[in-house]
Amino acid sequence: MINTLGSFALSLGIVFAQIPTPTTPIPDASVPLRPITEAEEQQLGLDDRIWGSAGQRGDKQALLNSIDNSLRYLRTPRAAEAYAKYPVPGITLERVRRSLVRFRQIVVNSRSAAQLQAAVRREFVFYQSVGHDRQGTVTFTGYYEPIYRASLTPNATYRYPIYRRPPDFENWQTPHPTRLELEGKDGLQGAKGPLKGLELAWLSDRFEAFLIHIQGSARLRLPDGRIMSVNYAGKTDHPYISVGRELAKDGKLPLAGLSMPVMIDYFRRHPQELSVYLPRYNPFIFFRDSGGAPAMGFTNVPVTAERSIATDKDLMPPGALAFIRVPLPFPNGRGNMAFRRVNRFVLDQDAGSAIKGAGRVDVFMGTGQLAGDRAGVMKSNGQLYYLLLKE
């Protein structure tokens, strides 16, 4: 997945006028979470997706698998290191682990959303993110794993490569080379510099190759029908820059209402502009052939559609059980998306360079075109909570 990248919509500068984007971090980032009162808990913990509703199948097993992924992460030295410096008193690795184990037991034994909610309210306490306004407002965006056509050898059709991580990358001088310096203005000059011989696969569409850098993972459909999966393997040290905002700044597109279809249409009508705007996105991402493995998160475990989130790991507990209340986009049957407020238990398993502060969350929307369509329009305000066993 995205690992150290940002959300699909935000990374491209997609803006929806009704949702303000936070421009400053929270005043006291050392206290990103606060325990809430029992009165505030009244409407929390009811997740109707687990058992399904309104003709939709439930995803109980997917949730259980995601919990198991977090438990696997929490047994690693990396998790121990992260929690040794976690800033919120009372939130420890052992408490997070015990909370997940007990929550899993409750999910297995519950027969309805209401029964699960009642058990959770008896045994758990909710910690709410203070958000970007210290009133609990969190901006949610989405990301996904794309599927693109690609080739393992270059030809007249497949010209735009993605690259492996250089074996000597740890020894590169900083600041690292920019995107322009690494692959050239046209995206085809990588073989003339330190990327020579590191090509992993070639794509036919330059913008699709760029979007893999944004998402951090992809599935590639090869000419012989095989599917190759690629995952994030590292990045250069340059800060995030929004291509969409660059377009708006130059007067190419209006910032209000800027969406993924609008950007795709613009670059298809003006392909020469790719050489102007893509080089401005200086971070350069390296990939590895993951051997068919699913998209992986910052915690080095698979991410699960609508059950995995990315947050700022300097502030939020990695691998922990969380609960979100937020409008998500769904197909409305008429070729558009309609937003519907949902309540979801999720696992905090990822991070992103554009996901900074207590007021940002990225939701993994899944794999393929529909997931991408949903991620491309998702930007909503909601609330984020973490669940821990009562002490």
- 3-class DSSP assignment, residue 143: strand
Contact 250, 13 (CB under 8 A): no
The answer to whether the bond into 154 is cis (omega within 30° of 0) is no
Packing angle of the helix pair 113-123, 93-109 (nearest 10 deg): 150
CATH topology of domain 33-143+298-389: Barwin-like endoglucanases (2.40.40)
CA atoms of 359 and 25, how far apart (whole Å): 8
* Residue 315 in tokens: 């502030």
Between strands 124-129 and 360-367, the pairing is unpaired
* Residue 52 in tokens: 């399904």
- Domain boundaries, given as residue ranges, for the chain: 33-143+298-389, 145-289
In this predicted structure, what is the pLDDT of residue 41?
86
Q: Which CATH code of 1.10.238.10, 2.40.240.50, 1.20.1300.10, 3.40.50.10800 fits the domain covering 145-289? A: 2.40.240.50
CA atoms of 46 and 305, how far apart (whole Å): 19
In this predicted structure, what is the pLDDT of residue 238?
93
Q: SS3 helix, strand, coil % of the chain, rounded to 5?
A: 30, 25, 45
DSSP calls for 238-275: PPP--HHHHHHHTTSS-STT--HHHHHHHHHH-GGGHH
- pLDDT tens for 152-191 read 999 999 999 999 999 999 999 999 999 999 999 999 999 9
Contact 293, 231 (CB under 8 A): yes
In this predicted structure, what is the pLDDT of residue 7?
53
Low-confidence stretches of the chain (pLDDT < 70) are 1-30, 54
Same fold, 33-143+298-389 and 145-289: no
